[in-house]
Amino acid sequence: HEHFLSLSSQVFEASGIEHLVPDLRDCYLANEGNLQFYKTYTFRNCMFECGINKTEEKLGCTPWFLPHPDNSTVCDPWTGRKFMELLRTNTDKCPACLPDCKSIKTTIIPTMAKFRLCDAKNLNISPLCILSPNGYPAKWAPEVQSLYAKGSIPGYVEYLSSPFRYNYHTEKLEGG
């Protein structure tokens, strides 16, 4: 299969509102928000930090691999597992987290197509249908040649020696 990824990004920015307080403009700039674990404000950072703090308040500990306040204790493995389960549900209850004043939204669209089988239309044109041992990638040559009955391999298949086809001139047909 052949895979393609189509990427597109959009920048969303509210400009000319820097002088307003965050509550009036309903967003935070990157240098605002007063986050405890992160230097740069993003909505996702805020939601993650808020979720950690709320879950830490409930359980009294934070797993060793997550950012945590200085006075926090480390959870044992079983409480750490419960912490992670609660963290997934606590991140949607953070009203102090405002959207970013500037953000980038990236969309990824994957597509896939099967490779075309080798035939007279693409032999020696597609790099996957080069049959010559001098060509590349010769590992497909035996499989493609096996499609033909023994002794009936056409000359244009049997004697391919480069990735380019020869142009054969034809005579103009008379009449018509």
pLDDT in tens, the chain (176 residues): 678 889 999 988 877 888 888 888 888 988 888 898 999 999 999 999 999 988 999 999 999 999 987 888 999 999 999 999 998 876 667 888 898 888 888 999 999 888 777 777 777 777 677 666 554 545 556 666 677 666 666 666 665 554 455 555 555 555 54
Q: What angle do CA 123, 129, 130 make, to 5 degrees?
A: 90
CA 53/CA 69 separation, integer angstroms: 8
Residue with tokens 């209850």: 93
DSSP state of 77: H
Q: Which residues contact 85 (CB under 8 A, 6 or more apart)?
A: none
Q: Are the CB atoms for 69 and 60 separated by under 8 Å?
A: no
**Element (H or E) spanning 88, and its range?**
helix 77-90
